[in-house]
Chains A and B, each alone.
Chain A
Amino acid sequence: MAGKLAKLLSDLKEPEALEYVEKALAKGSDPMGLLGEAKEGMNIVGQRFASGKYFIPELVFSGEILKSIVQMLEPHLKKGEEAERLGKVIVGTVAGDIHDIGKDLVVFMLDVSGFEVTDLGIDVSAQKFVDAINNTGSTVVGLSGFLTLAFDSMKETVDAIAKAGLRDRVKIMIGGGQIDEQVKSYTGADAYGKDAMEAVTLAKGWIGG
Chain B
Amino acid sequence: MEKKWEEMSPDEKQEAQFQKLLAPKDPEGNALKFQSPEAEANYKASIIRIKDAVQLIKTPDRVPLALTPSMFPFIDAGLTIQEAMYDTDKTVAAFRKFIVEYKPDMHIGAAQVGPGKFFEILDYKLYKWPGHGVAPEHSYQCVEAEYMKPEEYDILLMDPSFYFRNFYLPRVFGALEGFQMLPPFTGILEIYGVALNFIPFGLPPVQATYKALFEAGAEAIQWATAILGLNGELTSLGFPNILGGFTKAPFDTIGDTLRGTRGIMMDMYRQPDKLLKAMEALVPIMIGMGIGAMQQTGNPQIFIPLHKGADGFLSDEQFKKFYWPTLKAVIVGLIEGGCVPWPALEGHWDSRLKVIQDIPKGKTMWMVDQSDMTKVKETLGKNACLMGNVPSSMLRLATPDEVKAYCKKLIDTAGKGGGFIMMNGAFFDEAKPENIKAMVDVTREYGVYK
| Contacts A61-B266, A97-B141, A98-B134 given; does A148 touch B396 at CB 8 Å | yes
In the complex the two chains form, what is the Cα distance from A195 to B265 in whole Å?
18
A50 to B62 alpha-carbon distance, docked (Å): 44
With A148-B430, A149-B139, A151-B430 as contacts: A61 and B393 at CB distance below 8 Å:
no
Instruction: Write the chain B residue with the least CB distance to A57.
Output: B265
CB distance from A137 to the nearest CB of B (A): 31
Contacting chain A: which of B86-94, B276-284, B313-321?
Answer: B313-321
- In the complex, which residues of chain B have a beta carbon less than 8 angstroms from the beta carbon of A56? 261, 265, 312-314
Interface members, chain B 247-281 (any A CB < 8 Å): 261-262, 265-266, 268-270
Q: Is B111 an interface residue (CB 8 A)?
A: no
A114 at the interface (CB under 8 A from B): no
**B81 to chain A: closest residue by CB:** A149
Given contacts A148-B392, A178-B392, are A96 and B398 in contact (CB under 8 A)?
A: no
B144 A101 Cβ-Cβ under 8 A: yes
Residue contact B141 to A98, C-beta cutoff 8 Å: yes
Q: Report whether B261 and A101 are in contact in the complex, using a CB–CB cutoff of 8 Å.
A: yes
Report yes or no: B392 in contact with A55, Cβ–Cβ below 8 A: no
Give Cα distance in the complex from A179 to B315, angstroms.
23
In this assembly, does B203 line the interface, its C-beta being within 8 Å of a C-beta of chain A?
no
Q: At the interface, yes or no: A177 with Cβ under 8 Å from chain B? A: yes
CB distance from A83 to the nearest CB of B (A): 26
- A 49-78 binary contact with B (CB < 8 Å = 1; else 0): 000001111001100100000000000000
Interface centre among B135, B143, B312, B426 (most CB of A within 10 A): B312
Question: Count the A-B residue pairs with Cβ separation under 8 angstroms: how many?
Answer: 80
Known contacts A98-B133, A178-B393, A183-B393; A57/B269 CB under 8 A: yes
Cβ of A19 under 8 Å from chain B: no
CB distance from B124 to the nearest CB of A (A): 15
Residue in B135, B393, B397 with the greatest tally of chain A CB atoms within 10 Å: B393
Q: How many residues of A contact B (CB 8 A)?
A: 29
Quick one: CB contact mask for B421-445 with A, threshold 8 Å, 1 for yes? 0000010111100000000000000
Nearest A residue to B322, CB-CB: A57
Judged by a CB distance under 8 angstroms, whether A22 is at the interface is no
Q: Nearest chain B CB to A93's CB is how many angstroms away? A: 10
B391 contact from A101, A152, A178, A186, Cβ within 8 A: A178
B312 touches A195 (CB 8 A): yes
Q: Which residues of B contact A135 (CB under 8 A)?
A: none
In the complex, whether B160 has a CB less than 8 A from a CB of chain A is: no
- The reply to whether A57 and B141 form a contact with Cβ atoms under 8 Å apart is no
Q: Which of B138, B143, B393, B426 contacts A96 (CB 8 A)?
A: B138
C-alpha spacing A180/B425, complex, angstroms = 14
B313, A180: Cβ atoms under 8 Å? no
Q: Is A14 engaged at the interface, CB distance under 8 Å to the other chain?
A: yes
Q: Is the CB of A12 within 8 A of B393?
A: no
A149 touches B430 (CB 8 A): yes
User: Which of these, B135, B141, B318, B347, contacts A147 with CB under 8 Å?
Assistant: B141
Near B by CB (< 8 A), chain A positions 69-116 give 96-101
Query: Per-position contact with B for A167-198: 1 when CB-CB < 8 Å, else 0?
Result: 00000000001111011001000000001000
Complex: A179 Cα to B139 Cα, angstroms: 18
Nearest neighbor of A101 in chain B, beta-carbon distance: B261
Contact A148 B135 (CB under 8 A): no
> Which of B265, B313, B429 has most A Cβ within 10 Å?
B265
A183 x B397 contact (CB < 8 A)? yes
Question: Is B269 in contact with A55, judged by CB distance below 8 angstroms?
Answer: no
CB distance from A201 to the nearest CB of B (A): 15
Report Cα–Cα, A180/B139, bound state, in Å. Answer: 21
Residues of A near B429 (CB, < 8 A) are 147-149
Does B117 sit within 8 A of A, measured CB to CB?
Answer: no
Interface contact A179-B393, CB-CB below 8 Å: yes
With A96-B138, A98-B133 as contacts: A151 and B397 at CB distance below 8 Å = yes
**B212, CB-defined interface residue at 8 Å:** no
Residues from chain A with Cβ under 8 Å of B312 in the complex: 55-56, 195
**Would you call B269 and A96 a contact (CB within 8 A)?**
no
Neighbour of A182 across the interface among B135, B144, B313, B393, CB < 8 A: B393
Docked complex Cα distance between A179 and B392 (Å): 9
Residues of A within 8 A of B426 (CB): 177-178
Interface contact A55-B315, CB-CB below 8 Å: yes
Complexed CA–CA distance, A98 and B431 (Å): 21
Check if B165 is an interface residue, CB within 8 A of chain A. Answer: no
User: Quick one: closest B residue to A187, CB to CB?
Assistant: B397
Residues B128 and A98 in contact, CB atoms below 8 Å apart: yes
**B394 is an interface residue with CB less than 8 A from chain A:** yes
Q: Are B268 and A99 in contact (CB under 8 A)?
A: no
Q: Within 8 Å CB of A177, what residues of B?
A: 347, 426
Q: Report how far A21 CA is from B66 CA in the complex, Å.
A: 58
Given contacts A57-B315, A61-B269, A148-B428, 13 further A-B contacts (CB under 8 A): A14-B270, A55-B318, A56-B265, A97-B141, A101-B144, A148-B431, A149-B430, A151-B396, A151-B397, A180-B393, A182-B393, A182-B397, A195-B312
Nearest first, the 7 closest Cβ-Cβ pairs linking A and B are: A57-B265, A60-B265, A178-B392, A55-B315, A148-B430, A96-B138, A61-B269
